[in-house]
Amino acid sequence: MSAADNPGFRRGELTVHHDPAELARVTRALQATGRTVHLVPTMGALHRGHLELIRRARDVNAVVVVSIFVNPLQFGPNEDYDRYPRSFSDDVEACRQAGVGLIFAPGVEDMYPPGRQLSVQAGPLGDELEGATREGHFDGVLTVVLKLLNIVRPDLAFFGEKDYQQLTLIRKMAREFDLDTRIQGIPTIRESDGLALSSRNAYLSEEQRASALVLSAALAAGAHAGGRGPRAVLEAAREVLATEPAVEVDYLDLRDPELGPAPQEGEARLLVAAKVGSTRLIDNAKVLLGE
């Protein structure tokens, strides 16, 4: 098949698709000509964290697809779905400059036609950590990610470690549902002062942003205490968090890398979630215990 047979894609140009069936046709046709397809799922409001995912997804033989979809299923009734930052034309321009081949930007009814009844269940881990506060959040995330993977059928899909529980659950879904796509995790991109990049940082005032620095500082203190064991890690992190009364901690937890109970030795993950004003932020870091 030649490029002329695939009008939905032009080498070296960016094409935007809204219709799932049309995008599926385009990506299948690309794969039939031997191209690999890499997917970077996002909710838009693109920042340097997303651009790093795109950079890592780029490869000589790969067409990069970026999906931009603020997924209503993963927002609770009192969450920020309506005011979530949306900047579609800037996002398109950023994707063009980053060498993205295809943007998939469906409308809500394209993804969820009226009458939809089924969803993925995230299981017990879906009720812990983020899921304990955001009820049903991971059912919504896994449902949209499964749909995106089925529509695009990418060889590789890229997700940030910033959303570590999400990445863990997506890997689990890929394993348990025998998906062909390989899931690639990408380390968190931070500002030079340590703040993890996040679309929701746009909600923070200057003062709140300064307070939010305590999250990455607490993780760094916890990681530094790793040699003294799990209790010392949590104590060191808690001590730093306590220095900032404007930050209301939701959880601080130490787990194994798959988010089971923390080991006494070896690799672990320290995870934190907190509210700064009305903005909920999350962050996490790798910790080496007893070494």
Ligand X SMILES: Nc1ncnc2c1ncn2[C@@H]1O[C@H](COP(=O)(O)OP(=O)(O)OP(=O)(O)O)[C@@H](O)[C@H]1O
Ligand Y SMILES: CC(C)(CO)[C@@H](O)C(=O)[O-]
Q: Pick out the residues of the known binding site for ATP.
A: 43-50, 160-163, 189, 197-200
Candidates 184, 154, 161, 160; CA nearest to 171 is 184
Q: Judged by CB under 6 A, which stretch of 29-37, 48-56, 126-134, 236-244 contacts ligand X?
A: 48-56
Q: Contact between 181 and ligand Y (CB under 6 A)?
A: no
Asked if 20 and 151 count as a contact pair (C-beta separation under 8 A), the reply is yes
Cα dihedral 159, 163, 169, 171 sign: positive
When asked if residue 65 is in the footprint of ligand Y (CB under 6 A), the reply is: no
Vertex 154 angle, CA 152 and 158, to 5°: 110
* Nearer Cβ to ligand X (29/197): 197
The interface region with ligand X, picked from 6-14, 50-58, 97-105, 229-237 by CB under 6 A, is 50-58
41 vs 230, which CB is nearer to ligand Y? 41
Instruction: Give 154's Cβ-side CA count (13 Å radius).
Output: 28
Cα–Cα distances in Å, from 157 out to 77, 146, 228, 233?
A: 29, 11, 37, 32
Distance CA 210, CA 285 (A): 20
* Residue 118 CB neighbour total at 10 angstroms: 6
- Closest contact distance (angstroms) between CB of 134 and ligand BAL is 8
Stretch in the footprint of ligand X (CB under 6 A) among 24-32, 185-193, 223-231, 252-260 = 185-193
Considering only residues 17, 38, 50, 134, which one is a binding residue for ligand X as defined by CB under 6 A?
Answer: 50
Site string for ligand BAL, 147-166 (x = CB under 6 A): ----------------x--x
3-state secondary structure of 39: strand
Q: Is 284 in the site for ligand Y (CB under 6 A)?
A: no
- Token reading at 258: 């798959």
The residue count for binding ligand Y (CB under 6 A) is: 10
Task: Please say whether the beta carbons of 39 and 65 come within 8 A.
Answer: yes
What type of residue sits at position 194?
G
Task: Name the binding residues for (R)-pantoate.
Answer: 74, 166
Residue that the structure tokens 């299981």 belong to: 123
The verdict on 173 binding ligand Y (CB under 6 A) reads no
Residues from 114 through 143 that contact ligand Y (CB under 6 A): 141
Is 38 a catalytic site residue? no
Chain contacts with ligand Y (rule: CB under 6 A): 41-43, 71, 74, 141, 144-145, 163, 166
Chain contacts with ligand BAL (rule: CB under 6 A): 74, 163, 166
Q: Which residues are catalytic?
A: 50
